[in-house]
């Protein structure tokens, strides 16, 4: 049986972790590679870097981070943030990323997703959708960290991105992101039930029950979380044990 994936996400800015684990035994807690290694050993099912570097001049630093991570961690790695063109994707894949996550560039030019998936294969193209509830049962796509409204219906957008070759959707509720109030399970379920590609639920995880709900109520194939892992509140194995006990199929480490 295919297992539900638990994906920790690290925010990386100019090659440094800005939101990450506070482990005292790390030589350099700001080094994304050191943190990636910890998650690899802990049995995370995948790892996600979100590059939040503001200046495009410093974008190249992430390639080095990805290279060093891929050399040390034998697990799937996704990189997102600031991907604008085919060359960005090529550089990341050559550095060792397995997948790239595209957000704003997809909204600006939907055909970019089509081109990228034709060129590199659907398996490595993740489309990130930031969605906000506009009224009951209707969510809209936002960009720029939830600040910019696009007028695009999130369900239709997800379907279109599937049609254009996205292999997976990373779905973040902008209403819940950072609130620790749990996933927007209605949003997650609605999108998941309307596409046939896997959905990664994101935004709002504050405890381990939320991870369970993302799957049981939201029908997600994977759950992404940042802060609950980084602050050492819960470990990957706590999360897996909790999900396992709730009847969610997860991969357990021996």
Partner 1 sequence: MQKVVIIDYGSGNLRSAAKAFERMNSELGLNFTIEVSSETDIVMRADRVVLPGVGSFPDCYTGVAKQEGLLEALNEIVITKARPFLGICVGMQLMASRGYENGETIGFNWIEGDVIAIKKSNAQVKIPHMGWNELDIMVKDHLVIENLCNIAQKPHVYFVHSFHMVPKKSDHILAVTEYGQRVTAMVGKDNMIGTQFHPEKSQKTGLQLIANFLKWSP
Residue 198 touches partner 1, criterion: CB under 8 A: yes
Question: Which residue in the set 129, 197, 201, 225 belongs to the binding site for partner 1 (CB under 8 A)?
Answer: 197
217: exposed, middle or buried (C-beta count within 10 Å: 0-12, 13-18, 19+)? middle
Alpha-carbon distances of 197 from 55, 65, 98, 245, rounded to whole Å: 33, 29, 17, 26
Question: Which residue in the set 11, 51, 98, 140 belongs to the binding site for partner 1 (CB under 8 A)?
Answer: 98
| 130 catalytic per annotation | yes
| Of 31, 45, 79, 130, catalytic | 130
Question: Which residue in the set 62, 106, 222, 225 belongs to the binding site for partner 1 (CB under 8 A)?
Answer: 222
Residue 93 touches partner 1, criterion: CB under 8 A: yes
Place of tokens 């049995």: 43
- In this chain, which stretch among 27-35, 101-109, 122-130, 226-234 interacts with partner 1, using CB under 8 A? 122-130
What value, to the nearest 5°, has the Cα angle with vertex 168 and ends 61 and 65? 15
Question: Which residue in the set 33, 124, 174, 225 belongs to the binding site for partner 1 (CB under 8 A)?
Answer: 124
Residue 70 touches partner 1, criterion: CB under 8 A: yes
Long-range CB contacts (within 8 A, 24+) of 245-249: 246/209, 246/212, 246/216, 247/216, 248/4, 248/212, 248/215, 248/216, 249/1, 249/2, 249/3, 249/4
Active site residues: 11, 130
Question: Interface residues with partner 1 (CB under 8 A)?
Answer: 1-5, 40, 43, 45, 67, 70-72, 74-76, 93-98, 120-124, 167-168, 193, 196-198, 221-222, 251-254
């Amino acid at each position: 049986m295919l297992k539900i994936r638990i994906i920790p996400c690290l925010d990386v800015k100019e090659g440094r972790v800005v939101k990450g684990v506070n482990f005292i035994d790390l030589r350099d807690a700001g080094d994304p590679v050191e943190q990636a290694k910890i998650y690899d050993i802990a049995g995370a099912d995948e790892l996600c870097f979100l590059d939040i570097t503001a200046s495009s001049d410093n974008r190249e630093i992430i390639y080095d981070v990805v290279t060093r991570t891929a050399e040390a961690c034998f697990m799937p790695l996704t990189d997102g943030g600031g991907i604008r063109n085919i060359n960005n994707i090529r550089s990341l894949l050559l550095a060792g990323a397995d997948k790239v996550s595209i957000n704003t560039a997809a909204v600006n030019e939907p055909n970019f997703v089509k081109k990228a998936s034709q060129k590199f294969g659907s398996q490595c193209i993740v489309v990130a959708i930031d969605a906000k509830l506009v009224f009951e049962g209707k969510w809209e796509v936002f960009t720029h960290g939830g600040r910019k409204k696009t007028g695009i219906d999130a369900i239709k957008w997800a379907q279109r991105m599937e049609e254009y070759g996205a292999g997976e959707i990373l779905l973040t509720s902008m209403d819940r992101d950072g609130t620790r109030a749990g996933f927007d399970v209605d949003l997650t379920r609605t999108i998941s039930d309307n596409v046939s590609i896997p959905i990664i639920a994101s935004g709002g995880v504050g405890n381990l029950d939320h991870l369970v709900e993302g799957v049981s109520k939201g029908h997600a194939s994977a759950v992404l979380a940042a802060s609950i892992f980084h602050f050492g509140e819960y470990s990957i194995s706590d999360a897996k044990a909790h999900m396992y006990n709730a009847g969610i199929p997860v991969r357990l480490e021996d």
